[in-house]
Amino acid sequence: MNTTEGSFYTGEYRNLFLENGLRPEAIQQRLEDTWNEMFYGAPDVRLYHTMDDDKGYIVDTGNTDVRTEGMSYGMMMAVQMDKKEEFDRLWNFAKVFMQHTEGRYKDYFAWQCKLDGTRLSPGPAPDGEEFFAMALFFASSRWGDGAAPFNYSEQARIILRACVHKGEDGEGDPMWDPETRLIKFIPETPFSDPSYHLPHFYDLFALQADEADRAFWKDAAARSRDYLHLACHPVTGLSPEYANYDGTPVEPQPHGDFRHFFSDAYRVAANIGLDYEWFRCDPWQVEQSNRIQAFFRDIDPADYRRYTIDGQPFDELSLHPVGLLSTLAMASLAADGPDAGRFVKLFWNTPLRTGERRYYDNCLYFFTMLALSGNYRIYL
């Protein structure tokens, strides 16, 4: 395997489970079992449910609602696993119940709904839109475009068009800040969420979005990579949940204090790992992945906590220790230090989470299963 270039260029994907001594048949069985448990398993494990003859949804089990985060994650899982029925059901639910057809949020998605599709909040969360768009482009490549709403590639372009150009007619706000070209926490805020930064998606958007916007997406990818250098602490590798456009933690907000390393921020390590696997264009990502793994080297997952970004622990335990462990293992796609193999093995020996808080943990868990088995792939 060519390890000097990313998968985008070589078409090859590392299987870190295989590299760490696991058998190919055991790896494939574990991936399939994880899918089956999350989508069709026991009540205290599964997240996916069908509705009517043509819809499905992913439940945030900690809040008993449906979120664009989980819906778009479910679609990405389904397209990676070549599960068209589940993909189409999830997309149809999102299209019918969550996507706005008029007003300031037209073509954006209401980020939170009840299980019956009733909207709980009209506003969007940009991490949902970027995952929707990428999953739709991959679906177009794997299965081909059909009749609306299953004309996947055009649906993706509609979403990205709104993300970039919303507000140019005086109504609404874009999801990317026009000046910095950095993704916002929500369209109305002048700050970002480091875990939303997916430069590996933006490089692919630059090939598939509206032609007039392709230079924007290429620039957005470069700026997101640079931004993560600022948002991640140079010693610990930890990042805040919300950060200003200069990478500094955002001051406490009316709905909480997000200056610290906690739930949202876990995804940064996974995103950096996948970006390195796909594009391998930023050597800093190796150093960063080594740093964050070194910080957690001697901490038992049962004792994961909230941390200041310079590494001071709070008394508050992590709400999602399996999710954090998963992202630390996914960082091994970029890490080359002594901890890379250890976190892969630790993840392999950790089961899916059960019970009320399982949603976020197991979504991150599944992406790590895909990535470390060489199955989180680019479809163009």
Catalytic residues: 69, 264
The answer for residues whose C-beta is within 8 angstroms of residue 71's C-beta and 6 or more apart is 57, 58, 90, 93, 94, 98, 128, 132
The residue count for the chain: 380
**Sequence letter at residue 96:** V
Contacts of range 14-20, beta carbons closer than 8 Å, 24 or more positions apart: 14/277, 14/333, 14/374, 15/372, 15/373, 15/374, 16/332, 16/333, 16/340, 16/344, 16/372, 16/373, 16/374, 17/344, 17/348, 17/372, 17/373, 18/374, 19/341, 19/344, 20/341, 20/344, 20/345, 20/348
Q: Which structure tokens are listed for 54?
A: 């043509």
Helices 340-348 and 321-330: angle between axes, nearest 10 degrees: 140
Question: SS3 of 220, please?
Answer: helix
Nearest Cα neighbor of 159 from 182, 126, 199, 187 is 126
| Cα distance between residue 377 and residue 180, in whole Å | 29
Neighbours of 245 (CB within 10 A): 18
Cα 309 off chain centre by: 21
Q: Which structure tokens are listed for 4?
A: 């000097």
Q: Which structure tokens are listed for 105?
A: 């949020």
CB–CB of 197/143 below 8 Å?
no
The Cα-based distances of 207 to 134, 137, 211, 273, 332 in angstroms read 12, 10, 8, 21, 27
Task: Output the DSSP codes for 161-176.
Answer: HHHHHTTTTSSS--SB
| Cα distance between residue 49 and residue 51, in whole Å | 7
| Cα distance between residue 48 and residue 71, in whole Å | 9
